[in-house]
């Protein structure tokens, strides 16, 4: 039941220096200079010399039951597997549907989230898909958020994209209002996650709603903001005005998005242009499709985004962009937990969930702990999902 991690360099995300961390079941029980083990206690002790411990990563945009399908049924992307998530340092996920809200269902997403939770992750989901009216379980976004524990907001709602339902400003306004009040009544964030497409409208419609209603900027999170330079510039202004900007780690020139701003460079540019650090978020878009369109909008190829990119971009942010580990880690843990009001997540604090990633001197992942359970050892998963070995 007890595990003692001895003399780890703790980035909580605050740099706490060398500490002992005592885990008790799913929780962090103590963080001290030195923790003495009472005689006769059966405690597993792990030497952390030379290791750095950061909070487990929170991936707030991941297609748990797959997505895609833009190139026909054969291009529907596969479900997420437990070890593919944990090996990337991710211990909490927020799952969602995508383009396909017809052959993918909210009920399946909820069941998948429950399954992954049973397998050791912490999981949440959004109500909805690209389209408006958007799919729900109870018949309304507001009721879904209030009545279903795992549903914490709505998404991903597509705007400025040829695959969207072409929502009007009034549509967006009503959806945001539903999610906001649903969030208030249930003590959740009620955030709307907006899929930003490559269209020229960019953030204009969402911005209009924010400027013409009482709904605060923080009620929504525009994502994929690094997909082209124009949208990225708009997102910088949006974030300086008080909104969140969600960089997609799976969208970069290296992964085939020629016009994208590389995520680690996007973080550097956001910081340099004066965006407050706590307004910058990053998620993977894992298991979503990465369709390639020709100039007429025909699908000419489809790839699948993976979760790995999130940690790789954090490494690049530290090693290439010279962002401190403490700052970089906040973008994928602390900031996300605060934005989405995830209790006991995103910090290494006594009483919080024991979601930890242990890094070596080269910032490579050595261990991953999810709610106190060791999921990854020496960089390799040791716990697998129920049917992973088939």
Chain residues binding Zn ion by CB under 5 A are 156, 195
Cα 344–Cα 309–Cα 77 angle in degrees, nearest 5? 95
Residue pair 303/255 in contact by the 8 Å Cβ criterion = yes
Instruction: Tell me the closest approach of the beta carbon of residue 132 to Zn ion, in angstroms.
Output: 15
Residue pair 318/328 in contact by the 8 Å Cβ criterion = yes
Residue nearest Zn ion, CB atom distance:
195
CB closer to Zn ion out of 155 and 381: 155
- Relative to beta strand 90-95, strand 57-62 is parallel
CB closer to Zn ion out of 156 and 355: 156
The residues, any chain, with a CB within 8 Å of residue 295's CB and separated by 6 or more, are none
Instruction: Tell me the closest approach of the beta carbon of residue 161 to Zn ion, in angstroms.
Output: 8
Q: Which two tokens stand for residue 245?
A: 């900007």
Instruction: Tell me the closest approach of the beta carbon of residue 288 to Zn ion, in angstroms.
Output: 6
- Dump strand ranges (E) for the chain: 2-11, 15-24, 27-32, 44-47, 52-55, 57-62, 90-95, 122-127, 151-159, 191-196, 220-223, 245-248, 280-283, 289-293, 299-304, 356-359, 365-370, 373-377, 380-381
CB closer to Zn ion out of 304 and 348: 304
Instruction: Tell me the closest approach of the beta carbon of residue 126 to Zn ion, in angstroms.
Output: 11
Question: In angstroms, how far is CA 295 from the centroid of its own chain?
Answer: 31
Q: How far apart are CA 181 and CA 27, in angstroms?
A: 31
Instruction: Tell me the closest approach of the beta carbon of residue 195 to Zn ion, in angstroms.
Output: 3
Question: In angstroms, how far is CA 293 from the centroid of its own chain?
Answer: 26
Residue pair 173/209 in contact by the 8 Å Cβ criterion = yes
CB closer to Zn ion out of 53 and 305: 305
CB closer to Zn ion out of 125 and 359: 125
**Which residues are the active-site residues?**
285
CB closer to Zn ion out of 119 and 156: 156
Instruction: Tell me the closest approach of the beta carbon of residue 80 to Zn ion, in angstroms.
Output: 15
Cα 56–Cα 337–Cα 325 angle in degrees, nearest 5? 50
Which residue from 107, 21, 18, 8 is spatially nearest to 64, judged by alpha carbons? 107
């Amino acid at each position: 039941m007890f595990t003692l991690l001895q003399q780890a360099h703790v980035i909580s995300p605050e740099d706490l220096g060398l500490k002992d961390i005592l885990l008790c079941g799913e929780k962090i029980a103590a963080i001290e200079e030195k923790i003495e083990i009472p005689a006769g206690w059966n405690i597993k002790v792990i030497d952390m010399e030379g290791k750095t411990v950061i909070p487990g990563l929170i991936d707030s945009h991941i297609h748990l039951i797959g997505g895609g399908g833009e190139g026909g049924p054969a291009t529907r992307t596969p479900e997420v597997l437990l070890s593919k998530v944990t090996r990337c340092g991710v211990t909490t996920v927020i799952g969602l549907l995508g383009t396909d809200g017809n052959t993918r269902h909210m009920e399946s997403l909820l069941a998948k989230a429950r399954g992954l939770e049973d397998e050791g992750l912490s999981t949440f989901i959004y109500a909805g898909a690209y389209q408006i009216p958007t799919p729900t379980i109870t018949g309304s976004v507001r009721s879904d958020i209030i009545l279903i524990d795992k549903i914490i907001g709505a998404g991903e709602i597509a705007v400025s994209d040829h695959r969207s339902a072409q929502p009007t400003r009034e549509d967006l306004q009503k959806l945001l209002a539903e999610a906001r009040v649903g969030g208030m009544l249930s003590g959740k964030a009620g955030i709307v996650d907006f899929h930003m497409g490559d269209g020229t409208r960019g953030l204009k419609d969402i911005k209009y709603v924010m400027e013409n209603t009482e709904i605060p900027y923080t009620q929504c999170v525009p994502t994929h903001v690094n997909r082209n330079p124009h949208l990225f510039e708009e997102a910088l202004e949006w974030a300086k005005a008080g909104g969140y900007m969600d960089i997609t780690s799976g969208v970069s020139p290296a992964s085939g998005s020629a016009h994208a701003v590389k995520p680690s460079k996007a973080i550097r540019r956001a910081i340099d242009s004066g965006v407050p650090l706590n307004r910058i978020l990053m998620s993977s878009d894992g298991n979503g499709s990465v369709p390639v369109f020709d100039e007429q909008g025909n699908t000419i190829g489809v790839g699948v985004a993976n979760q790995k990119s999130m940690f790789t971009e954090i490494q690049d942010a530290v090693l290439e962009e010279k962002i401190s580990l403490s700052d970089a880690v906040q973008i994928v843990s602390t900031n996300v937990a605060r934005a989405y009001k995830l209790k006991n997540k995103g910090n290494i604090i006594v009483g919080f969930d024991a979601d930890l990633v242990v890094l070596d001197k080269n910032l490579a992942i050595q261990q991953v702990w999810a709610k106190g359970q060791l999921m990854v050892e020496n960089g390799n998963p040791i716990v697998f999902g129920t049917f992973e070995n088939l």
